[in-house]
Amino acid sequence: MAVLVIADHDGSVVRDTTHKTVTAALALSSDVDVLVLGKNAKAVADAAAKISGVRKVLLAEGDAVAHGLAEAVEATVLPLAAGYDAILTPANTDGKNFAPRIAAKLDTAPISDIVEVVSADTFVRPIYAGNALETVQSADAKKVITVRPTAFAAAAEGGSASVESVAAGEAPKTAFVSEEMVKSDRPELGAAKIIVSGGRALGSAEEFHAVMEPLADKLGAAIGASRAAVDAGYAPNDYQVGQTGKVVAPALYIAIGISGAIQHLAGMKDSKVIVAINKDADAPIFQIADYGLVADYKTAVPELMAALG
């Protein structure tokens, strides 16, 4: 059995979601290749070649694949698919975009967001916003799978795979127009060890930034938010944690003025240590918090800042 992992990277660095997907792939087979798509992505391919357990890196370079357009990714992957029994990619925004398309073209049912590989054809995945785990067995000869990165340890560095060029596909009916990247010196939400997350209680964008940013700076943390905070315009969309936002599992998650709705918990309940600050002692967040502080954030956060020095 051979497995192809489609790498997640930012154009210069291989994200650790790729390392985690390689771990899932290695649970399926020891023949794991990594496909890097991009423009001027040789450095990324060289970095992917150093992931332990990777047999070979395939590098597809071209304008059409520079921005993860699903059509171009599909056109690149399909000619390679004959050589693989399974195609894996992280269950992030890009993976969720192109994996169903690749699966449809291969006439196979995509298996999304797996958190465990039971065997070569059986996988565990969360359903009902993470309230239940479903074990699925696939009879399809070729499998297209998205992997929830937070459920797998990152494959170590130390490999020395070869890098081979392959043809990049085109996307004749789709054009990349532009993207607006939020520039931040803070760690990325999905990879951060510490996340401070704010909810509707913050009350305004000004207050959200005034409270959350100094605390995040002090802790070297990423900032997250509930959907209520995002919908109200207190925080940008890419801060959203939860069922329809990002799934995170940092070492420490501090929820400030977040009630703990099931859809929010779906995105953060696997965090190692959860701290909740909420003035309502009956808030559901306290049911999953390791440390709960029933307090007004307006007094608790300054005290925390002072204690951190």
Q: Which residues bind ligand FAD (CB under 6 A)?
A: 199-201, 226-229, 240-245, 257-259, 261, 263-264, 267, 277-280, 283, 296-298
Q: Could you tell me if 184 and 52 are in contact, meaning their C-beta atoms sit under 8 angstroms apart?
A: no
Q: Could you tell me if 143 and 86 are in contact, meaning their C-beta atoms sit under 8 angstroms apart?
A: yes
Position of minimal CB gap to ligand FAD: 242
Shortest CA distance to 5 belongs to which of 101, 119, 144, 150?
Answer: 144
Question: Does residue 122 sit in helix, strand or coil?
Answer: strand
Nearest to ligand FAD of 98, 239 (CB atom): 239
CB of 197 to ligand FAD, least distance (A): 9
Nearest to ligand FAD of 97, 263 (CB atom): 263
What angle separates helix 297-308 from helix 205-219, to the nearest 10 degrees?
Answer: 30
Q: Could you tell me if 273 and 291 are in contact, meaning their C-beta atoms sit under 8 angstroms apart?
A: yes
CB of 129 to ligand FAD, least distance (A): 8
CB of 162 to ligand FAD, least distance (A): 41
93, containing H or E segment: helix 93-105
CB of 198 to ligand FAD, least distance (A): 8
CB of 237 to ligand FAD, least distance (A): 11
Nearest to ligand FAD of 272, 298 (CB atom): 298
Q: Could you tell me if 170 and 64 are in contact, meaning their C-beta atoms sit under 8 angstroms apart?
A: yes
Nearest to ligand FAD of 92, 240 (CB atom): 240
CB of 205 to ligand FAD, least distance (A): 14
Q: Give the contacts of 299 (CB within 8 A, at least 6 positions apart).
A: none
Nearest to ligand FAD of 108, 278 (CB atom): 278
Shortest CA distance to 49 belongs to which of 24, 77, 26, 19?
Answer: 19
CB of 238 to ligand FAD, least distance (A): 12
Nearest to ligand FAD of 66, 262 (CB atom): 262
Q: Could you tell me if 149 and 92 are in contact, meaning their C-beta atoms sit under 8 angstroms apart?
A: yes
Nearest to ligand FAD of 62, 203 (CB atom): 203
How do strand 116-119 and strand 122-127 relate by DSSP bridges? antiparallel
